[in-house]
Structure 1
Amino acid sequence: MARPLHDPQQRFYEQVEGIRAADFQVEVGPPGTEQDRRATPRYLVEPGFVLVREADLPAVRSRLTLRGDEEIKRAPGVARLPTDAKAGQDPDVFHNHLVTITPVNSCPADEPTLPPRSKRDPVELVTPPAYHDAEAGQGVDVLVVDTGLLSEYREFGPISDIVGDLRDQPPPGTITQYYGHGTFIAGVLRNVAPGVNLRVSGALQHAGSLSEFDLGRILLDELPADGPWPAIISLSAGAPTVDDQPLVGLEEFVRKLVDEHPETVLVAAAGNDGEPSQPFWPAALAPRYADSRAIVAVGALREDEAGRACFSNCGEWVSVYAAGERLVNIFATGRYENVHDVTRDCRYHVGYNPLYPGCTCVTAGVQGAAVDFDGYARWSGTSFATPIVAGRIARCMDLDGVKRTSREAAQYLLSRRTHTIRDGADGRPLPVLFEEDRQP
């Protein structure tokens, strides 16, 4: 008897359970979606609160009834109001979306798995391999906004000298979901550009999630109020929105980035929804600033790099695609239990054969199975394609004897170090990094 098709929303709701267990109040949208499992979830919002631009706050307060159980919170350019009124009923009132490590799946494209069996040292299996020039990217300041660093990160030579927030520790010998995500990204970035000055923020360490209001506030808190920002900010998180419009909670951060810090480029993940049309913010802002290259949106290629990974969002707003399936890099030591289950068919293409043989959906582990890690893992997601592009931009800032700003380097990379391939599955044109430029 044929195995029935999987529930395409099961993984999503398992992730929602984890987010709620971390004390995040979230509501699945569109309204009524959670009661109808046949419906496709599109976004997550914080119930009972709305966002209002600071300039509109006096007028909006006169129109809204606010609850007395919470105070109004303010961040640069925006305020969070406690109210039972619904966003959308007033043109100046907006949802407070949940920003996560590349949702709607609210997580990387797959769960960490063991690296390939080999007699070689795991260090020799890391991907992308360590760049041949140990000084590439030297002096370039990079900020990674993610889940923070493992306490043992200094044991790994390539990242032993970086700085950042240590993330909360699980019980000894235990690896929880998202644990090691930020450290893995740091390892990927340092492989690509060994010389960069790297700092890792732990803003997203709680279930890989944060409201757009809090993320906008934390980003501006982490960045200098006076003086230059880092040359590159790498962000492997974002959100789709109710109305497919940009996140209001990040407006002030984006304004400062674009208008006041021309020395900085934001490299943002395109998201893991397998979505060909719904934009994912802030990455989807990239075309708006294509002339300045203030923002670069990064999609993921499948393991053989013959097309996009099934989980990668795609569309004209994606600036470039880089390797993002089954990368091997630094991870935690301990036991991890799989949260999700293998499926017969690709969860991004329900009812059809996998987009390509061996996609991460049909090769996943069994739910509840325990996996013992020893410092390295294999993992997939646009999360991990993003630091590849960030590192390549850093390398282009001093290439062939020419000094460039990070935005000039981003323009150089996207115009001179990419080419277009046709997706092996559906023929979609994809701008990808030159393969021959990744290694000597």
Structure 2
Amino acid sequence: MAPQRFHEQFHHIQRSLPDVPLTMGPDDSAGLLYEKGVVLVRDGEEARFVEDAVRTHFTATAGLVPDHVRRMGPQAGRTGVTRIRVGDPAEGEDTVPHALRAVREAEGRRGRRLAGRNHVVHIAVNACPGDEPVPVARTGPANPAAAEGSYDPATAVGVLVVDTGLVHDHLSYPLLAHTSGDAQLTETDGDGVLHQYVGHGTFIAGILAAVAPNTDITVRGTLEDAGAVLESDFAGKLFEAVDRDGWPDIISLSAGAASEDTDGLIGLDAFMRELSAQRTLLVAAAGNNGSDIPFWPAAYAALPEYADTVLSVGALRTDGESEACFSNHGPWVRVHAPGERLTSALTGFTGPVPYVYQHSSYDSCRFGADYACTCQYPRHTGVLSEGRESTGAKPDQVMFDGLAQWSGTSFATPVAAGLVAARMTAYGERDPRTAGARLLAATTDRAQVRGAHVPALFPPTWRPVPVVVPALPA
């Protein structure tokens, strides 16, 4: 049976959030993942209105009981949202779609969306991985390689990475000498094997430091819990990060949630308003679902009020000429950058550590691409793969000794963030949003994405690799 990574990861995430009933839908391929039986609303008058509207609708609808409709209290902090229970999650049917239909007519009268799903926000390799890391010898070169330039604490650009924490030996990697932040909570299991996604934040920091040496990088382990958090809690965690460190020049965020809503995530309203009032530029990953369904907060880049605040980044394949097979796409993706098989630090250099693959490779690209993409190569069998038990296939294990190759819009994002920071240093620009706009305006590079020629950003030290097209069977 072909491995279905989204389904495999759904069960993995559910185990990491055992007290939160989750569900997928309505189209699994779109990557929608949310809390079952709960809608998210703004606290106050709108919450009371939605609660009454849903209860009235359920009373008039055969087969749906209004007894479970109740507010679950406002979230802590200043996020300004609350959850409303709209059904019993122990029952088989998910009542969220019914509840959302109940408020659609009222939304037309109010002039804005009043309720939405409580999505799971996840790092952009979590619910649908671009791939898993592949070992590279510690003597191998990084790609992108370290750019020329020196670190000056007086002029260094401040970059906040909101992700998983830093591995314990990250300072053994020379490029991370000016990186600080949270330590990864747990790196290995009882057998000394790396947990899934350990090193994700470290890998991102290594790319940033390579592209932009004159940066002060802070990595916050906001997404340690399998890289997943409920939308209702996400803004609070973002506020905690910026309150702790102050608003940086740039936030590099390789996380988000797929949603068919066209005006963003209700749970991020308060954070996005405060972000807009700052000078910080949010550089956000477009996601790895191979879809044009908006992935938030990256998709805020397409809303006029946030056009100068958010830079959304898709991933290019190894030759830089076209999109990577897994990359989300659409008019809401502002720019693309290399994001397939980049090389950076996964651990420090203090010794090898084993990793067991979680997902099996595919016989052909799961997104229909016709080149030797990361879906197919290298070949391996993973722990979570559906049908593995019936075949008796043993999961593959590798050893990491410093560097790795890894793919995803997660890693195209720090490439773009680093290029904005590098421009700020090169031109003495102090406003990151102006620097981002000028960087895009100055680029003449283009890539072909779904038949369109779109802006592309390439670090001078990035090495393109020709793609290989598999031979057709005889």
Q: Which residue of 2 aligns with 1:126?
A: 142
Correspondence 1:27-42 to 2 at 5 A: 27-31=22-26, 40=29, 42=31
Q: Which of 456, 463, 468 is residue 432 of structure 1 equivalent to?
A: 456
One-letter amino acid of the counterpart of residue 454, structure 2: L
For residues 79 and 23 of structure 2, what CA distance do their matches in structure 1 show? 27
Higher helix content, 1 or 2: 2
Task: Identify unmatched segments of 5+ residues in structure 2.
Answer: 56-66, 88-94, 105-113, 382-394, 464-474
Deviations 1:355-411, CA, capped at 9 Å, x for gaps = 2421111113311100111121110000001001111111111324x4240001000
One-letter amino acid of the counterpart of residue 52, structure 1: V
Deviation (angstroms), 1:436: 4.3
Q: Which of 127, 148, 158 is residue 106 of structure 1 equivalent to?
A: 127
Q: Would the aligned equivalents of 1:136 and 1:194 in 2 still touch at CA under 8 Å?
A: no
Q: Would the aligned equivalents of 1:417 and 1:434 in 2 still touch at CA under 8 Å?
A: no
For residues 181 and 121 of structure 2, what CA distance do their matches in structure 1 show? 21
Correspondence 1:74-93 to 2 at 5 A: 74=76, 75-84=78-87, 86=96, 87-88=99-100, 89-91=102-104, 92-93=114-115
For residues 208 and 48 of structure 1, what CA distance do their matches in structure 2 show? 22
User: Is structure 2 residue 168 aligned with structure 1 residue 166?
Assistant: no
Residue aligned with 1:328, SS: strand
Q: 1:245 to 1:292 in 2, by over 3 A?
A: closer
Correspondence 1:169-180 to 2 at 5 A: 169=186, 170-171=188-189, 173-180=192-199
Q: Which residue of 1 aligns with 2:434?
A: 408
Q: 1:410 to 1:337 in 2, by over 3 A?
A: same
Q: Would the aligned equivalents of 1:289 and 1:295 in 2 still touch at CA under 8 Å?
A: no
Deviation (angstroms), 1:27: 3.1
Q: Which residue of 2 aligns with 1:316?
A: 331
TM-score, normalisation: structure 1: 0.85
User: Is structure 2 residue 75 aligned with structure 1 residue 49?
Assistant: no
Residue aligned with 1:174, SS: coil
Deviations 1:232-259, CA, capped at 9 Å, x for gaps = 011001111154541111111111111x
One-letter amino acid of the counterpart of residue 198, structure 2: Y
Q: Which residue of 2 aligns with 1:59?
A: 49
Q: Would the aligned equivalents of 1:101 and 1:107 in 2 still touch at CA under 8 Å?
A: no
For residues 94 and 422 of structure 1, what CA distance do their matches in structure 2 show? 34
Q: Which of 98, 117, 120 is residue 95 of structure 1 equivalent to?
A: 117
One-letter amino acid of the counterpart of residue 187, structure 1: G
Paired-residue identity, %: 37
Correspondence 1:323-334 to 2 at 5 A: 323-332=338-347, 333-334=352-353
Deviates most, 76-85 or 327-336: 76-85
RMSD over aligned Cα atoms:
2.6
Q: 1:290 to 1:413 in 2, by over 3 A?
A: farther
Correspondence 1:7-22 to 2 at 5 A: 7=2, 10-22=4-16
Q: Which residue of 1 aligns with 2:466?
A: none
Q: 1:41 to 1:397 in 2, by over 3 A?
A: closer
Q: Which residue of 2 aligns with 1:274?
A: 290
For residues 214 and 326 of structure 2, what CA distance do their matches in structure 1 show? 31
TM-score, normalisation: structure 2: 0.80
For residues 153 and 415 of structure 1, what CA distance do their matches in structure 2 show? 35
One-letter amino acid of the counterpart of residue 326, structure 2: F
Q: Which residue of 2 aligns with 1:141?
A: 158
Q: Which residue of 2 aligns with 1:373?
A: 400
Deviation (angstroms), 1:70: 5.9
Q: Which of 338, 343, 346 is residue 362 of structure 2 equivalent to?
A: 343
Q: Would the aligned equivalents of 2:6 and 2:128 in 1 still touch at CA under 8 Å?
A: no
One-letter amino acid of the counterpart of residue 150, structure 1: V
Q: Would the aligned equivalents of 1:147 and 1:202 in 2 still touch at CA under 8 Å?
A: yes
Deviation (angstroms), 1:73: 3.1
One-letter amino acid of the counterpart of residue 76, structure 1: T
Q: 1:434 to 1:44 in 2, by over 3 A?
A: closer
For residues 428 and 356 of structure 1, what CA distance do their matches in structure 2 show? 18
Q: Which of 372, 378, 393 is residue 364 of structure 1 equivalent to?
A: 378
Deviation (angstroms), 1:330: 0.7
For residues 83 and 69 of structure 1, what CA distance do their matches in structure 2 show? 9
Task: Identify unmatched segments of 5+ residues in structure 1.
Answer: 1-5, 34-38, 350-354
Deviation (angstroms), 1:60: 3.4
Q: Which residue of 2 aligns with 1:3?
A: none
Deviation (angstroms), 1:229: 1.1
Q: Which residue of 2 aligns with 1:36?
A: none
